[in-house]
Amino acid sequence: MKKITIIIPAYNEEESLPHLYERLEKLISSMKHYEFEILFVNDGSKDNTINLIKEYREKDNRISYVDFSRNFGKEIAMIAGLDYATGDCVIFMDADLQDPPELIPELVKYWEEGYDDVYAKRNSRKGETWLKKFTSKMYYRVLQHLTNIPIQEDTGDFRLLDKRCVNALKKMRESQRQSKSMFSWIGYKKKEVLYDRDPRIAGKTKWNYKKLVDLAIDGITSFTTSPLRISTYISIPTFILLFVYFIYVIAKCIVTNTVVQAYQAIILLILFFSGVQILLFGIIGEYLGRIFNESKNRPLYLVNEYNGKKEMND
């Protein structure tokens, strides 16, 4: 029997957990051909979350949990889930039932058809403000523009990953993680499933705008070094300006038969030295970018099949 691990990061979710457990339990009992593991990652909750999880585990041996020493954030909770999962595939789910468990059979169906990464794309975003929708849309656009890897829009972390995707992700040990772009980076056979994202069942969102902006910056900077190029790009118009002004000053001197004025010389010097400085920053940025990419220590490539056998990345 194949085993499916459902990974649920939970941070202060005492209000949602009972609903979640009830709905998951119902669903799991209906999928008799699979063995299940429900893996909670308690991300340093300050409420009763961990005790609830322990209670569930006592009466239900399909439940296991990883308990963090403090709050590390959802991204780290997710990689811990991957490290501890024992299933043949994993499914990431939020604790607040925004990801309907009823979609799981469909995800599993595509997995059985041979897809490695079945991700749920939201049709609608009930219960989210227009500002959050708008910022998220703009963010995807910028990210897509800066990176060469196709990023799936309107997809959260709700997805099923085959064991070999799990193994691949486990090799990416960088500390400032942004799973969404990592899912894209690993590649493999992907399948999209549409669903309606429900509003949070209970409790409050654990996100605030600072966390979101941090995540957005991590997403861009962990994936591309293009912000480092800004400097190089700025130096180009500076040099063009220098060149144009230089021609203008010389031409004016020749035409009017005068010497170069002091202020003109100062402008030329300022343009020249700031251009040089910005360019040097850009060069340093280029090297920094390379060091940055190397220091991530990612595998250089991931193999899909070797001699007809699926590569498991372990």
Q: By the 8 A CB rule, do 101 and 18 touch?
A: no
Is the distance from CB of 159 to CB of 192 less than 8 angstroms? no
Q: How many helices (H) and strands (E) does the chain have?
A: 10, 9
Amino acid, res. 24: L
Contacts (Cβ under 8 Å, ≥6 apart) of 58: none
CB of 239 to Mg ion, least distance (A): 49
Q: Does the protein bind ligand UDP through residue 92 (CB under 6 A)? A: no
By CB under 5 A, name the one of 5, 12, 45, 98 that touches Mg ion.
98
Contact 62, 38 (CB under 8 A): yes
Backbone torsion region of residue 299, taken as left when φ is above 0, otherwise alpha when ψ lies between -120 and 50, otherwise beta: beta
Site string for Mg ion, 178-217 (x = CB under 5 A): ----------------------x-----------------
Q: Which is nearer to ligand UDP, 10 or 228 (CB)?
A: 10
Among Mg ion, ligand UDP, none, residue 116 binds (CB under 5-8 Å by kind)? none
Return the closest-CA partner of residue 228 out of 275, 146, 286.
286
User: Cβ of residue 25: shortest distance to ligand UDP, in angstroms?
Assistant: 17
Query: Which of 14, 37, 96, 116 contacts ligand UDP by CB under 6 A?
Result: 96
From Mg ion, ligand UDP, none, interface partner of 13 (C-beta below 5 to 8 A by class):
ligand UDP
CA distance 154 to 88: 26
- The sheet with strand 155-162 has its strands ordered as 63-67, 34-42, 2-10, 89-92, 155-162, 117-125, 190-197
d(CA 19, CA 14): 10
> Per rule CB under 5 A, is residue 96 in the interface with Mg ion?
yes
Helices (H), the chain: 17-30, 49-59, 74-84, 104-112, 130-146, 163-170, 179-186, 209-221, 230-256, 262-295
List 74, 159, 163, 191, residue binding ligand UDP (CB under 6 A): 74
Residue (136 or 167) nearer to ligand UDP, CB: 136
Residue from 24, 53, 80, 95 touching ligand UDP (CB under 6 A): that is 95
- Taking the least distance from each CB to ligand UDP, the nearer of 37 and 94 is 94
Nearer to ligand UDP, 43 or 162 (CB): 43
Q: Which stretch binds ligand UDP (CB under 6 A): 3-11, 24-32, 58-66, 165-173?
A: 3-11
Q: According to the binding rule CB under 6 A, does residue 43 interact with ligand UDP?
A: yes
CA distance 148 to 125: 27
Residue closer to ligand UDP, measured from CB, 45 or 231: 45
Return the range that interacts with Mg ion (CB under 5 A); candidates 93-101, 107-115, 242-250, 283-291: 93-101
Residues that bind ligand UDP (CB under 6 A): 9-11, 13, 43, 71, 73-74, 77, 94-96, 98, 200, 205-207
